[in-house]
Structures are given as structure tokens and as C-alpha cells.
Amino acid sequence: MKLEKNENKATRIGFGEGLRDIAKQNTNIIGIGADITSSVSMNIFADEFPERFFSFGIAEQNIVAAAAGLALGGKIPFFSTYGVFAALRATDQIRISLCYNNLHVIIGGAHAGISVGADGATHQALEDIAIMRALPNMTVLSPCDANQTYNAVFAAVTQINSPVYLRFGREPMPNFTPKNLEFKIGKGQIFTEGTDVTIIATGHMVWEALEAAKELTKQNISAQVINIHTIKPIDKTLLIESAKQTGAVVTAEEHQIIGGLGSVVAEVLSQNYPVPIEFVGVNDSFGESGNPNELMVKYGLKATNIVSSCKKVLSRKLKNY
């Protein structure tokens, strides 16, 4: 698969453009905002379909309840705000109104991860994957770039008929996947082949994983890179097959290590094919205000950190032989 960075583009833009374009095909799609329409790129939809967009103001819990009513009435509501507010502030309503009733509502969790930057700890969603994946009937998507976020929007509408949490970021990041790359919910993607170690990444960390694999190649270490754009349901078959092939795994995510992608991978492999695992992510701490890239460096979310973890897990792998 040819993966090249064509530009830097925020995944939130992919979300907004995807929502606008799928709404052209499906008149049942409704957009709901929470007073930060342009920040989450819902303005792209609202400008095209003002009669189908409603801003409730800062009232996330009320929005979820209204979205549930719209879904029961045959509409497909999209609700988006910052992930910390979408996933945490309205958890009760999401659990009971959406998940318990298994309603087709798509929640856009924007400004995910530490790379939100200057907004600081209160606005950096680092626990949303853990919360959303614990809810029955909830599908959790975490695409790797703007193109894939665009495709994830279409998949959330056409491939599933239940609640969806779609996670995306604020800052421009490498946009490197082909626009026509198939997005199938529940199926991971092998981006590079390798035999020594598997790097399993999600969201913005997929690009860092690809950069890490390039560096490892220079050091005669063959790394397989897997993009997990669907946290739930996870692609168990792919994870197990890769673990059998390489015998060592590193996970990478812009999220707390606790409860996130690393936890899911550990759950799957511990039950099916245990191998040494190392985790790259935020280590049980809040973020802070700062330059996005500097925060990624400070909190150990760069390719260099993945390289170090790969070397560490390989040393553990050798000890097991």
C-alpha cells in the first residue's frame, strides 16, 4: 500500500466534509451543534443545509436526549462537540437514551488527544475511548487522518444502525491515506509488512508508527504497522494473526494507556495468544496547555518513543525464547 503525506489537514475537516457529502445523499441526516459549530467543522454542513442544522448551545445532555428522539422518528442525527464534553458530560444520557435503546446516532468527539494544545487539560480528551467502548451497543471509531475520517462518516451511516462514537482531532496532521481506501467497520488495516514486531496504532499515532517503522528498518528491525480505526468492535483475527507472526507487540495511542487501545489489545491477546506487549500513550496523567508538537514530545507520543518501546519489547521477546 502506497502511503505518502500529501498535506497536513485536520481530521475535524474530514469529519465536516464527510458529513456534508453524505447528507447530500441522505435527507434524513440532521446536524446538531453545541455552540462550537466551526470548531468541530459542523459549519461545513450547516452552511450547506441550514434547514437541517440546529444549535442547542452548551447543553450536551439535552442534545443527546433530542438526538434520541430524532432517531426514534427515523432521522440520523449527528451531534458533535469536544470529546471531553461529548463523552464525559453526557455519559448518562448516551448510556440510557442512546445505547440502551440502540439508536442510530453518530457522536463526533472532536479535539481528541493531547494535540489539542493550548486549550489545556480541561479540553484534551484522553479518557473518551475507555468510556465509550465500555457502553453496550456503542461502536467506537478512531480514524488516522482527514481522508479516513471522511470515509468513517460514510461508514457510520451506511454500515451500521446503532450508536457510533467517532473520534477526531483539532490540529492539522499528516494526511496520507488514499481518499478511496476502503473503510470497513471492525476491520484493521496492515499499512506496512514486518516480521520482528507489530506496531498497533490508532488516530494521529498511526503516522508516528509509520515513521517509527522507517527508523527501525534502518536498524535492521522489521516492523509491521497495523492501523486500528475501529476500537470497538476490534479486529481480533488480525491482532491474533499478527501476534503469531511477530511474537511482540507495541500499541500507540493519543489517549490514556488505561482503558484505551492498549487495553483492548491486551485483552484480546491475553485470552488468545499471549506475547510481550509495550504501551505508548499518556501514562495516567492529565495534559497541559502548550504547543501541540511539544506536548506530543513531552508526553512520549512520538516515533522515537515507539522505536524505544519496540526495542524494549524485542528484548523481552528474546528472553522468552
Interior angle at CA 101, CA 97 and CA 104, nearest 5: 90
Backbone φ and ψ for 311, nearest 5 degrees, come out as -65, -35
Tell me 56's DSSP state. Answer: -
In whole angstroms, give the CA distance from residue 140 to residue 319: 36
**Cell match 442525527: residue?**
77
In whole angstroms, give the CA distance from residue 124 to residue 72: 32
Contacts of 11 (CB under 8 A, 6+ apart): 143, 145, 146, 149, 168, 169, 173, 203, 204
Catalytic residue chosen out of the listed positions 17, 60, 253, 254:
60
60 an active-site residue?
yes
Beta bridge partners of residue 200, listed in sequence order: 226, 251
Active site residues: 60
